[in-house]
Amino acid sequence: MRLVVQIPCHNEAATIGRTIREIPRQIQGIDQVQVLVIDDGSEDKTAEAAQQAGADKVVLLGEKMGLAAAFRAGLDHALRMGADVIVNTDGDNQYPGAEIPALIRPVVEGRAEMAIAERKLSEIDGYPRFKLILQKLGSWFTGVLAGQKTPDAASGFRAWSREAALRMDVYGDFSYTVETLIESGRNRMRLAWVPVRVNPQPGRKSRLYRNLIQYLARSVEAMTRTYSRYEPLRVFLAIGGTVFAGGFGIGVWFLYYFLTAGGKGHVQVLILGAALMIIGFQVALIGLVADLIAGNRKLLEELIYRVRKMEARDPEQK
């Protein structure tokens, strides 16, 4: 059984070497461990540092494509390297390599198709309380959309079986963490959560977003887009039903006013109510069309899976 540890990174020359050297090369149940580094347009010497630290393969994206694109490229290359199990970790050494055996155990034993590290953020000294509350709230909401318990939605330390990786699709350009959780939940994928410790990173700023507001906005955008891709009818019916109900309420109010006050004036309110009801009904119809398109998308996903499976055959079997 072959394990490929993929590391998408950008400007991590200072930490990528330590991250790679901490990855265990001998793991019970694993015959071979390989390290794959995806250099997302780094402006420092991340690629050189990775090669010197012993990375088996370094892929250069040329220009900065973003974390989601680097993650997608990592999955594709790991599959072509013949990976039976794929681990994704960060190049900033946030996740100790010593935790990899525990992380992949549910996947290796067949108890899960995807294993996610659950960070004990509340136990980290100095971790901002407000950020912890937002993290828990975001994880809870992601779990609602995914239909599964999600204690740490933002954790990027994850493991997949080969079959799960072949079926994994990421369409966003911001991050993969929330999107893949909702996708796996809606596809009834078996998940396992593995408690892990993390290395402290005092003073380090995220390179994924400029500030917390941007992160929240992009995360909500990713949640909405991903959930609507799998449940378009629910999303459009909710929106259309709300608008229609508003228009209907205005109509009821006007009818009451018409019967009690003689029906003079406020015609513009009746027009507004009628317009809202028409718009709400049209939005609901759009939901029906989107639901039909979602059915075709499932067929396309199956086709993509079969093509990807042929392209990613084990090099030793070609």
CATH of the domain at 182: 3.90.550.10
Q: Which two tokens stand for residue 32?
A: 């071979």
Inform me whether the pLDDT recorded for 170 exceeds 90: no
Asked whether residue 189 falls in the same domain as residue 256, the answer is no
Q: What is the pLDDT of residues 276-291, one digit of tens each?
A: 999 999 999 999 998 8
Asked whether residue 64 falls in the same domain as residue 156, the answer is yes
Asked whether residue 157 falls in the same domain as residue 221, the answer is yes
Helix (H) or strand (E) holding 254: helix 232-261
Mean pLDDT is lowest, of 87-91, 176-180, 199-203, 257-261, for 199-203
Asked whether residue 9 falls in the same domain as residue 137, the answer is yes
Q: What is the pLDDT of residues 43-61, one digit of tens each?
A: 888 999 999 999 999 999 8
Q: What is the pLDDT of residues 76-114, one digit of tens each?
A: 999 999 999 999 999 888 899 999 999 999 999 999 999
Inform me whether the pLDDT recorded for 318 exceeds 50: no
Residue-level pLDDT at 150: 87
* pLDDT band, residue 263 (cuts 50/70/90): low
Asked whether residue 174 falls in the same domain as residue 58, the answer is yes
**Structural domain includes residue 311:** no
Angle at 176 between CA 134 and CA 47, to 5 degrees: 115
Asked whether residue 167 falls in the same domain as residue 294, the answer is no
Strand pairing category for 85-88 and 57-60: unpaired
pTM of the model: 0.78
Average pLDDT over residues 213-241: 83
**Structural domain includes residue 317:** no
Asked which of 198, 229, 260 is the last residue of a domain, the reply is: 229
Asked whether residue 121 falls in the same domain as residue 212, the answer is yes
Residue-level pLDDT at 242: 94
Asked which of 174, 208, 229 is the last residue of a domain, the reply is: 229
Residue-level pLDDT at 194: 93
Residue-level pLDDT at 185: 83
Asked whether residue 125 falls in the same domain as residue 89, the answer is yes
Average pLDDT over residues 171-193: 83
Any residues with CB less than 8 A from the CB of 232 and at least 6 apart, and which?
287, 290, 291, 293, 294
Asked whether residue 147 falls in the same domain as residue 295, the answer is no
Asked which of 229, 258, 291 is the last residue of a domain, the reply is: 229
Q: What is the mean pLDDT of the chain?
A: 85
Domain of residue 281: give its range: 232-306
Angle at 69 between CA 31 and CA 225, to 5 degrees: 115
Residue-level pLDDT at 220: 81
Inform me whether the pLDDT recorded for 203 exceeds 60: no
Please count the structural domains in the chain.
Answer: 2
Asked whether residue 173 falls in the same domain as residue 237, the answer is no
Asked whether residue 140 falls in the same domain as residue 264, the answer is no
Any residues with CB less than 8 A from the CB of 71 and at least 6 apart, and which?
6, 8, 38, 88, 170, 176
